[in-house]
Amino acid sequence: MSQINVTVNGEAVSAEVEPRLSLADFLRDHRRLTGTHLGCEHGVCGACTVLMNGVPVRSCITLAVVADGAEITSIEGFDEDEPMTQLRKAFHENHALQCGYCTPGMLVAARDIVTRLPDADEARVRLELAGNLCRCTGYVGIVNAILQVLRERRA
Amino acid sequence: MGKFGIGQGVLREEDPRLLKGRGIFVNDVSLPNQAHALILRSPHAHAEIRSIDTSAASALPGVLAIYTGEDVAADGLGVPGMPVKWVRPDGAPMKYRPQPPLAVGRVRYVGDPIAMVVAETLEAAKDAAEAIEIDYGPLPSVTDTAHTVDPDAPVIWEDGPDNVSALYQAGDAAAADAAIAKAAHVTKRRFTISRVFAQYMEARGAVGAYDEREDRFTLHADVQYPHRVRQLLAEKIFRIPEQAIRVVARDVGGGFGTKGWQYPEHRLVLWAARKIGRPVKWSCERSEAVQADEHGRDNVTDAELAFDADGRIVGLRVKTLANIGAYLSAIRNLLAAYTNVGTLIGVYDIPAAHVAVRTVHSNTNPTAPYRGAGRPEATYVIERLLDDAARELGIDPAELRRRNMIPPEKLPVKNALGLVYDCGAFADNQAEALRMADYAGFEARREEARARGRLRGIGTSNPIERSASPSPDFAEIRFSTDGTATVLMGTKSQGQGHETVYKQIVGERLGLDSNQIRVVDGDTDRVAFGIGTMGSRSTVIGGSALHFAAGKIVEKAKTIAAHMLEASPVDIAFEDGKFSVAGTDRAVTLTEVAKASFVPARLPKGVEPGLFESATFAPEDDTYPNGSHVCELEIDPETGEVEIVGYWVVDDVGVVVNPSIVKGQIHGGIAQGVGQVLMEQVAYDSESGQLLSGSFMDYAMPRAADFPDIKIASNEVPTKRNPLGVKGAGEAGTVGALPAVMNAILNALAPVGVTDVAMPATPNRIWKAIRDAAA
């Protein structure tokens, strides 16, 4: 067992974890933050994307011990975050989710796009979003939602 | 009805919690003191199990129990049963071959379950599974559908040496033969529809509990049909009253037809929970899912479409081999093979047709419904034949389609395979789709692309789907003493947005606001009855039941309102949630009436207190959503890569309750259709029968960069087969996309001499086809 000290959604957390424990399982099983969803468990679908020190990571292939000393933000930790608030509204208005399983990871990836690439056009948004799989929407609503937020933030 | 009724693009009620990660999916369910289950699966496509030694594994720390097929057999668990009696081509009866929840003596595909390990933690269960020693005697296998009926093919079941399960036929063979014999032109093709898998983002799961005090099971699972799961478990598996089982499904992370009612894990977690006296949780992992779940499609079809000298269709003859996998556990395994073959006729006036489907066994997972369940396969055949015929006859494919369409004045019509189409404006759909896509201007775009070194193609299809088939579903409206309403539904959302759509129907009928209504589904203890969600039936059948339940609420409430308003019920009008006395300004709201209904003193004599009504609706016939798809794409001849540059759909799903939700269904359906044509495939090694596409690394699926924007227009022709006029929207996108995309690819490749590309049309296959055609 290894001792880790992590800030999870602004709260300092110390825990004893097995070295093989993934960050996703740490969040879901140890912290009961079940908004982080496991889609593929091998870093391909993006459903489990969270922020580690402000950068998106796949929590399924990130070990919890790697997060020692880091700040983790999962979907439950964005309530005061302006771009996330804009994105949630835009996802709602653009029918950007159906079953909602990929949505937390999509939102974290989308937040990265709108904050890092303020001038992105549709083709760039589609390319940047290609790390996240959605099986329900055909991506139409998701892309429109992100483009809407990009426009709002440029205005 | 104002802002919340039928036809409004109301934003989804489900979104706020899902956007905050507050959904409750099955893997989010954990029960106190639960143990964890792991299913050990066959690594062989086909093998005899000579022995299983669990002794070393059982001794490992944290292991609570290890079960094998013998334990299941010893406890006498039942099998799902087979309601239809089919025959084989030789007239002998079809053999029922149920999959044991844990194999006994032999495994028949990679992933066939063998043992169940129950342990304190998932890690302990995994460690123990690795310590189970199994002596296998490997056997030859066959996974490729066309080869299942080869004379020397490996035999899946020793008492069925030709691997053929049964023969299903529809139409008039003599008439089709005669029409084809005297036709001016016959287009004949073989089409292979690849094997795919739903790949819902949420892999399946099941948490089972047994309450000794109540002698009662509870199953938490991500299923589309909670009541059918309960019925199967009670009646067939455990042989106990249905009341002794509760099935709960909360948020379901996609289903697409494949989160069925007969999965072995449902019975295993309940059975194990009773044996160990603790809840048991099973969570399918992604690499396990392709092995554990039902697959979709997988057939080989030989088809002939015959024309007279004017390019009018005179006959259609279809022979299909449908791969149902290693077992035949329940009718689910036959549904895709036969229920929708009638739509092979498409929207065309075909006087004579015959179809013969042989269902065959192979060393593969069982197949079962996946988005469309036979509809995409059927539409693919007729729409590919039309494009190929058009090339052979030198007629524009859209013109050939137009010439052969069923005109509106001929509707309703019984087609040559027995389906009765009620309504639709097929020619209008196509004309509008072609206009949106600027079909007339395509050749100029092809030329412009050629100048850039790219092959540009356009493809169309006119899908029609048999939806919402006659089976009942249920709705109940319960008012509480504060006047708010709970709506309980027998259908089960897996992301379609039922909560929103049902609230809209209640809003339309009862004038209630969204915050006065709560929708409940997916709990057999709360909802009295249900069949569930499949075949584009929920809004059609569940929605209609809700419509009738609301009608009963209005009737009873009107009696109470009349009493409250001191008027005669015949003088009471109900509109926008208010009962009013005709010609006066005296009125009471439904909410006030609902509150009063619980106070006997405020009721007229003889009226029972309370306001609860339910309704069950079963339509008399299917509905037929239809439409027209146009796909335009470019191919890079140097790489074989396909880029879809435009996609247009005109869709007739009948009355549209929520336009944005319908569009979302079409978008997602198209994505799954495009996925199957361009990249998705459950692939097996033909020698070893090993699964080659066991993870998301190997099973390619469409990503955002693979699509352009998709343009959709609606051409509503309401059906009279239900009170709402709705036809169903869940499968339409996929059904149209398979042929439209492949037709566009072959249209692009025609100038370089390519006439066929196998599905999925990967860059490698297209590149090879171009090179082979040039050679």
To which H or E segment does residue B392 belong? helix B375-393
Which residue type, as a one-letter code, is found at position A106?
M
Task: Look at the block and give the residue holding tokens 């009765």.
Answer: B420
CA distance B743 to B766: 14
pLDDT by residue (tens digit) across B464-519? 999 999 999 999 999 999 999 999 999 999 999 999 999 999 999 999 999 999 99
pLDDT by residue (tens digit) across B330-387? 999 999 999 999 999 999 999 999 999 999 999 999 999 999 999 999 999 999 999 9
CA distance B108 to B42: 8
SS3 A71: strand
For testing contact with chain B, the best of A93, A95, A107, A122 (most B CBs within 10 A): A95
Which residue type, as a one-letter code, is found at position B737?
A
pLDDT beyond 60 at B2:
no
Task: Look at the block and give the residue holding tokens 């001038």.
Answer: A119
Do residue A99 and residue B201 have CB atoms under 8 angstroms apart?
yes
pLDDT beyond 80 at B606:
yes
- φ/ψ (deg, to 5) at A137: -100, -15
Higher pLDDT, B9 or B40: B40
Do residue A97 and residue B253 have CB atoms under 8 angstroms apart?
no
What is the average pLDDT score of chain A? 97
SS3 B6: coil
Q: Considering only residues 248 to 307 of chain B, which have any Cβ-Cβ distance to chain A shorter than 8 Å?
A: 251-254, 256, 285-287
Query: Does the beta carbon of A62 lie under 8 angstroms from any beta carbon of chain B?
Result: no
Contacts of A36 in chain B (CB under 8 A): 21
A100: left (phi over 0), alpha (psi -120 to 50) or beta: left
What is residue B709's predicted lDDT score, i.e. its pLDDT? 87
Do residue A95 and residue B660 have CB atoms under 8 angstroms apart?
yes
B344 in Cβ contact with B171 (< 8 Å) = no
Task: Look at the block and give the residue holding tokens 């880029």.
Answer: B643
Do residue A92 and residue B697 have CB atoms under 8 angstroms apart?
no
Do residue A125 and residue B710 have CB atoms under 8 angstroms apart?
no
pLDDT by residue (tens digit) across B79-98? 999 999 999 999 999 999 99
pLDDT by residue (tens digit) across B762-774? 999 999 999 999 9
Please name the residues in contact with B620: beta carbons below 8 A apart, sequence gap of 6 or more.
B470, B721
Q: Among partner residues B286, B672, B707, which is closest to A39 by beta-carbon distance?
A: B286
CA distance B498 to B677: 29
Look up residue B638 and give its two tokens: 């140097």
Query: Does the beta carbon of B11 lie under 8 angstroms from any beta carbon of chain A?
Result: yes
pLDDT by residue (tens digit) across B224-261? 999 999 999 999 999 999 999 999 999 999 999 999 99
B49 in Cβ contact with B282 (< 8 Å) = no
Please name the residues in contact with B273: beta carbons below 8 A apart, sequence gap of 6 or more.
B208, B209, B210, B217, B279, B280
pLDDT beyond 60 at A44:
yes
CA distance B345 to B337: 16
**Model confidence band, residue B712 (pLDDT cutoffs 50, 70, 90):** very high
For testing contact with chain A, the best of B8, B31, B703, B731 (most A CBs within 10 A): B703
DSSP β-bridge partners for residue B218: B209, B246
For testing contact with chain B, the best of A125, A135, A147 (most B CBs within 10 A): A135
First to last CA, chain B: 65
Look up residue B561 and give its two tokens: 């309102």
Look up residue B39 and give its two tokens: 């299913």
Look up residue B345 and give its two tokens: 């006729």
- φ/ψ (deg, to 5) at A132: -120, 125
For CA atoms B569, B575, B576, B581, give the dihedral sign: negative
Do residue B20 and residue A35 have CB atoms under 8 angstroms apart?
yes
Q: Among partner residues B285, B494, B671, which is closest to A99 by beta-carbon distance?
A: B494
A129 in Cβ contact with B703 (< 8 Å) = yes
DSSP-derived secondary structure for B459-512: EEE--B--BS-S--EEEEEEE-TTS-EEEEESS--SSS-HHHHHHHHHHHHH--
Other C-beta atoms within 10 Å of B351: how many? 15
CB burial of residue B149 (10 Å; 0-12, 13-18, 19+): middle
What is the average pLDDT score of chain B? 97
Mean pLDDT, residues B160-169 taken together: 97
pLDDT by residue (tens digit) across B615-657? 999 999 999 999 999 999 999 999 999 999 999 999 999 999 9
B247 in Cβ contact with B227 (< 8 Å) = yes
Q: Among partner residues A103, A129, A137, which is closest to B18 by beta-carbon distance?
A: A103
* Cα-to-chain-centroid distance, residue B4: 28
Look up residue B218 and give its two tokens: 């509870």
Q: Among partner residues A40, A95, A139, which is closest to B12 by beta-carbon distance?
A: A95
Look up residue B684 and give its two tokens: 């097996």
Look up residue B170 and give its two tokens: 């529809």
Contacts of B701 in chain A (CB under 8 A): 133, 135
Nearest to B107 by CA among B61, B35, B48: B48
Query: Does the beta carbon of A142 lie under 8 angstroms from any beta carbon of chain B?
Result: yes
Please name the residues in contact with B357: beta carbons below 8 A apart, sequence gap of 6 or more.
B167, B168, B169, B299, B320, B321, B322, B337, B338, B341
A103 in Cβ contact with B14 (< 8 Å) = no
Nearest to B141 by CA among B106, B98, B191: B106
Task: For B499-577, list the strands marked E by DSSP.
Answer: 517-520, 572-575
In what side-by-side order are the strands of the sheet with B133-138?
Answer: B106-107, B47-53, B133-138
Contacts of B254 in chain A (CB under 8 A): 98-99, 101, 135-136
Query: For residue B758, what is the DSSP state?
Result: P
Mean pLDDT, residues B680-700 taken together: 97
Which residue type, as a one-letter code, is found at position B635?
I
What is residue B668's predicted lDDT score, i.e. its pLDDT? 97
Nearest to B295 by CA among B269, B256, B321: B256
pLDDT by residue (tens digit) across B721-746? 999 999 999 999 999 999 999 999 99
The share of chain B scoring above pLDDT 90, in percent, equals 98
B171 in Cβ contact with B416 (< 8 Å) = yes
Contacts of A50 in chain B (CB under 8 A): none
B49 in Cβ contact with B136 (< 8 Å) = yes
B651 in Cβ contact with B634 (< 8 Å) = no
pLDDT by residue (tens digit) across B202-221? 999 999 999 999 999 999 99
Q: Among partner residues B21, B696, B709, which is closest to A44 by beta-carbon distance?
A: B696
SS3 B52: strand
Distances (CA, A) of B653 to B348, B413, B449, B622: 18, 18, 35, 13
Other C-beta atoms within 10 Å of A55: how many? 10
In what side-by-side order are the strands of the sheet with B517-520?
Answer: B517-520, B485-489, B473-479, B612-617
* Cα-to-chain-centroid distance, residue B141: 29
Contacts of A74 in chain B (CB under 8 A): 21
CA distance A70 to B217: 43
CA distance B432 to B579: 44
For testing contact with chain B, the best of A21, A59, A101, A125 (most B CBs within 10 A): A101
Please name the residues in contact with A117: beta carbons below 8 A apart, sequence gap of 6 or more.
A124, A128
What is residue B388's predicted lDDT score, i.e. its pLDDT? 98
Beta-sheet pairing, B641-652 with B710-714: parallel
SS3 B647: strand
ipTM of model over 0.90:
yes
Q: Considering only residues 81 to 140 of chain A, which have any Cβ-Cβ distance to chain B shorter than 8 Å?
A: 88, 91-93, 95, 97-104, 107, 122, 125-127, 129-140
Distances (CA, A) of B439 to B436, B632, B728: 8, 9, 28
**Separation in Å, CA of A155 to nearest CA in chain B:** 24
Look up residue B260 and give its two tokens: 């069925």
Query: For residue B156, what is the DSSP state?
Result: S
pLDDT by residue (tens digit) across B421-445? 999 999 999 999 999 999 999 999 9
To which H or E segment does residue B712 belong? strand B710-714
Look up residue B443 and give its two tokens: 């050749």
B729 in Cβ contact with B658 (< 8 Å) = no
Task: Look at the block and give the residue holding tokens 């549904």.
Answer: B335
CA distance B356 to B304: 13
pLDDT beyond 50 at B1:
no
SS3 of B675-706: the string is: HHHHCCCCCECCCCCCECCCCCCCCCCCCHHH
Nearest to B434 by CA among B147, B708, B650, B215: B650
pLDDT by residue (tens digit) across B519-575? 999 999 999 999 999 999 999 999 999 999 999 999 999 999 999 999 999 999 999
For testing contact with chain A, the best of B14, B15, B30, B496 (most A CBs within 10 A): B15
To which H or E segment does residue A6 belong? strand A2-8
Query: For residue B418, what is the DSSP state?
Result: S
B650 in Cβ contact with B436 (< 8 Å) = yes
